[in-house]
Amino acid sequence: MDARVTGGMDLNWPEPGVCDAVPYGVFNEREVYDREMERIYQGPTWNFLGLAVEVPNAGDYKSTFIGDIPVVMTRDDDGNIYAWENRCAHRGALVIRDSCGSSDGSHTCVYHQWSFNNKGDLIGVPFRRGLGGNGGMPDDFDMKENPVRKIRTEDYKGAVFGTFDWDMEDVDSYLGGDSVVNGHVKRIFNRPVKVLGHARQYIDSNWKFYAENTKDPYHASLLHLFHMTFGLYRSSQTGGVRLSNDWNSVLFSESGTDDEKAMEEIDDAHLRTFQSDYSLEDMSLLAGRAGEWNDNTTLVILSIMPSLVIQQIQNTLAVRQILPKSESEFELVWTFFGYEDDDEELTNIRLKQINLIGPAGMISMEDGESSVICQQAISRSRNARNVLQMGGRTPEDQDHLVTESTIRGFWKKYRELMAY
């Protein structure tokens, strides 16, 4: 039977509407993965494709993925960005073979040189009328009927999204319209950005373990021990979580010293030995620039399902694209950026803070690792369930960070989309 119909239906799901636990089989079965590619990634979702500044000029292109499907985004002479599946309409070869580049506006498959314009329409077919009267395409061959598969796109304040669902609401509503979540997207994308560079991680884990991680504010002080180790009391314990459309979320925290009692509670919570004998030799690592956004917010983690994380941590700005590669592998592509009008000092601050965040980030390198050790542990735990009860049993906005509320929101929406 077709996995897209049956995959994962027989898992040990809790009652409909209950989202404080999920069976581990959802993380390691091919049938579930195939169903996700069908119902989530090619379903009613907006997937992050890239930053608009990655294709600044007409003819520029970037190849990427929606789920595990190769796609291309290009900018046309009309100034708009288009996207299409990176599969030649002829015999299925990749049309674009490099990760980014510039073109004259035509994209030619190397195999038989079918050629497509920026919008994905077929504009050239060699030997269409044959050679010396022999061969060629039939008379009724219609170029208009053979474009590459097109993807609807929207450039939302400099972040480009794509969807296979042409009936989708627009990105603004998808992010929650006037919601706090969307407010944080607009706060970060408030003016033109510039790309500072990329980093890529390949992680032997199901993509949803990472999705859970990006919606989980309370692991921060438990898994990530950088601040504790160097006796840097982090102020990130005052903040909250907000949801939009159930599964998009923002975790945010504000500067301002925590009160003594709260710090004691955090210390008490630590079962691993609390280290405070160390101090940083070079404090310049933490010397950021305060007040960049004229507010006290120092940490924003936006988790926009299914494929995007947008972050501001101190002065580090980045988008992280989650690319599933199989039921037990995903790639995480980081694009670090600043604003076009950044001065040199601010650029250097952002570059230096990548030491804290990213594949080698001293604060948070553990996130990839936590996903791996989950994948390794659940190999035979198909019907066992995890526990997602921190901060209650329902998805809801909360004014603190000791919660798994946002993870519950993710699973609520996930079950709806997957029809589990």
Partner 1 sequence: MDAKTDPSAISHLPDLAWPPAGVSDSVPFGVFTDQATYDLEQERVFRPTWNYLALEAEIPNAGDYKSTFLGDTPVVVTRDTEGEIHAWVNRCAHRGAMVCRENQGNNADGTYTCVYHQWAFDAKGDLIGVPFRRGLGGKGGYPKDFDMKEHGLQKVRVENYHGLIFGTFNEDLVDVEGFLGGEGDVSYHMKRILNRPLKVLGHTRQFVDSNWKIYAENTKDPYHASLLHLFHMTFGLYRSSQVGGVSLGDEWHSVLFASAGEEDESTKKENKENASRTYQEGYTLADMSLLAGRKEYDDGVTLVILSIMPSLVVQQIQNTLAVRQILPKGVDQFELVWTYFGYDDDDAEMDAIREKQVNLIGPAGLISMEDGEACELVQNAIIRDRDARSCIQMSGHDFKDEPHLVTEGPVRSFWNRYRLLMDF
Partner 2 sequence: MSYESLLEVTDLINEYVACIDDDDLERWPDFFTEQCIYRVIPRENADAGLPVAVMYCDSRGMLQDRIVALRNANIYAPHFYRHLVSNTRIVGESGDEIKAQTNYAVFQTLLDGETKVYNVGKYEDTIVRVDGKLRFKEKLCIFDTYRIQTLMVTPI
Residues that bind partner 1 (CB under 8 A): 6, 10-12, 24, 27, 29, 31, 209, 212, 218-219, 222-223, 237, 259, 261-262, 265-266, 269-272, 366, 370, 373-374, 376-384, 386-393, 398-403
Size (the chain), residues? 420
Looking at 35-43, 247-255, 260-268, 360-368, which segment touches partner 2 (CB under 8 A)?
360-368
Q: State which of residues 142, 202, 326, 383 lies at the interface with partner 2 (CB under 8 A).
A: 202
Q: Which is nearer to partner 2, 191 or 194 (CB)?
A: 194
Told to check if 223 binds partner 2 by CB under 8 A, we report yes
Q: Which is nearer to partner 2, 186 or 270 (CB)?
A: 270
CB 161 within 8 A of CB 46: yes
Residue owning tokens 């037990």: 328
Told to check if 230 binds partner 2 by CB under 8 A, we report yes
DSSP assignment of 49-85 equals EEEGGGS-STTEEEEEEETTEEEEEEE-TTS-EEEEE
Q: Which is nearer to partner 2, 370 or 405 (CB)?
A: 370
* Terminal alpha carbon distance of the chain: 17
Sheet holding 106-108, edge to edge: 106-108, 115-117, 122-124
CA separation for the pair 290, 286 (Å, rounded): 11
**Cβ atoms within 10 Å of 172's Cβ, excluding its own:** 15
Contact of residue 351 among partner 1, partner 2, none (CB under 5-8 Å per partner type): partner 2
How far, in whole angstroms, is CA 176 from its chain's centroid?
17
# chain residues binding partner 2, by CB under 8 A: 42
Residues of this chain, 267-286, that bind partner 2 according to CB under 8 A: 275, 278, 280-282, 284-285
Question: 178: which 2 tokens?
Answer: 């006037």
Element (DSSP H or E) covering residue 137: none
**Shortest approach of partner 1 to residue 293 CB, angstroms?**
25
Q: Which is nearer to partner 2, 5 or 373 (CB)?
A: 373
Contact of residue 389 among partner 2, partner 1, none (CB under 5-8 Å per partner type): partner 1
Q: Which is nearer to partner 2, 126 or 197 (CB)?
A: 197
Q: Which is nearer to partner 2, 134 or 273 (CB)?
A: 273
300 Cβ partners below 8 Å, 6+ apart? 184, 187, 188, 250, 251, 252, 310, 311, 312, 313
**Shortest approach of partner 2 to residue 364 CB, angstroms?**
9
Q: State which of residues 172, 204, 258, 396 lies at the interface with partner 2 (CB under 8 A).
A: 204
Question: 62: which 2 tokens?
Answer: 């970037």
CA separation for the pair 307, 37 (Å, rounded): 12
Q: From residue 118, how far is each of 93, 124, 162, 296 by CA, in Å?
A: 17, 13, 15, 43
Contact of residue 398 among partner 1, partner 2, none (CB under 5-8 Å per partner type): partner 1
**Shortest approach of partner 1 to residue 369 CB, angstroms?**
8
Cα dihedral 240, 280, 335, 411 in deg (nearest 10): -30
b or e along 141-154 (b: 16 or more beta carbons within 10 Å of the residue's beta carbon)? eeeeebbbebbbbb
**Shortest approach of partner 2 to residue 358 CB, angstroms?**
6
* Backbone phi and psi for residue 150, each to the nearest 5 degrees, phi listed first: -90, 150
**Shortest approach of partner 1 to residue 204 CB, angstroms?**
13
186 Cβ partners below 8 Å, 6+ apart? 157
Contact of residue 188 among partner 2, partner 1, none (CB under 5-8 Å per partner type): none
For the window 121-160, what string marks contact with partner 2 as x by the rule CB under 8 A? ----------------------------------------
Looking at 14-22, 79-87, 256-264, 368-376, which segment touches partner 2 (CB under 8 A)?
368-376
